[in-house]
Amino acid sequence: MTAPFTLYLAAFVSAWAVAFFSLPLWRIWCARNGLMDDPGHRKIHTAPIPLAGGVTVLTALLLPLAIAIVLLKLGWLGEASTAPLLHGFAKRAGQLTGIVLGAFGMTVVGLLDDRLELPPAQKFIAQLGIAGMVAAAGVRITLFVPAPVFSYAITILWLLIVVNAFNFMDNMNGLCGGLGAIGAAWFGGLAAYHGQYLVALLAFLTLGALGGFLPHNFPRARAFLGDSGSHLVGFLLAIMAVLPHFHSEKHPQPLAVLVPLFVLAVPLGDLAWVVILRLRLGKPFYIGDTNHLSHRLVRAGLSNTAAVLLIWLLAVVIAGGSLFLLGPP
């Protein structure tokens, strides 16, 4: 079953609206609770900025999802759409529960880090626990290896890498959120084209949530994603890369499993670059610096806004290369 275009549009628009209009309320909440990014080392803003992005995106993701489930249960979306969607939700109930709990957990870990500056080891252990829980819920990678231990290990590793790649990439206005939106758009479009409607709906919810947040963050920021937002965005994109069936016995496309590497090439490449560089310089890989791609583009003469737009364009172009790995639905 391919979900009607109107459902995808409704997912995007509802998430966009919730994010756009709820962010001012979350800004007030952050100010009252001390969740502010103060000016300082390696920062270009001159006044405290609320770290409201994570809770805003999470709200825009979960509220429309909860409303949709209620409408489905009541049968108000039409019988033609209701029955297949209810079947899909029931079939993937365990996975969806794990994803929702994982999204909430990553946001909480990020909020604690935003507020308390958690030691790297504590943050990593929390990320590891959440990734393990999601893998146990059935969201797992196999890569053609029929071994449960390998499946758990590679899934947990993937989630940790992508979450931290987006966390590292959150260093300029709009950069992390924009890359997340681009990735969600690609995963959503590919999933919709191949009839994987639940994955597509999750992707378009994420796209809408980030789309509603970005006007408050780029080019001038009235709110930042913060660690809560970058953790959540990375988690959602990692999940979108795992859920689709890029390859199956019915539609054999072995090379299609490489699609996520193309879609997420920019944050993954930036992560690899800065980690290798920091290790070569004898510095802890988890301590931030100004050697990211965005910083290097600014040092080359671009403005912050131009650097972000160029990186967005690069992400779109590289993601487009993944189309050569895909066949017909």
Domain ranges in the chain? 5-248
* 38: Cα separation from own chain's centroid: 25
Phi–psi pair at 49, nearest 5 degrees? -120, 130
End-to-end CA distance of the chain: 12
At residue 74, the pLDDT reads 76
Q: CB neighbours of 162 closer than 8 A, spacing ≥ 6?
A: 234, 235, 237, 238, 241, 264, 267, 268
pLDDT of residue 83: 63
pTM: 0.92
**Integer Cα distance of 105 and 82 in angstroms:** 30
Looking at residue 138, the DSSP 8-state letter turns out to be T
- Successive 10-residue mean pLDDT values, the chain, 329 residues: 75 97 96 86 71 97 90 68 67 88 97 93 96 94 84 96 96 96 95 86 96 96 96 97 71 76 97 95 88 95 97 97 74
Cis bond leading into 219, ω under 30°? yes
What's the token pair of residue 125? 């252990």
Alpha-carbon dihedral 167, 271, 214, 65, rounded to 10 degrees = -60
Q: How far is CA 79 from CA 74, 83, 84, 125, 135, in A?
A: 10, 6, 9, 45, 33
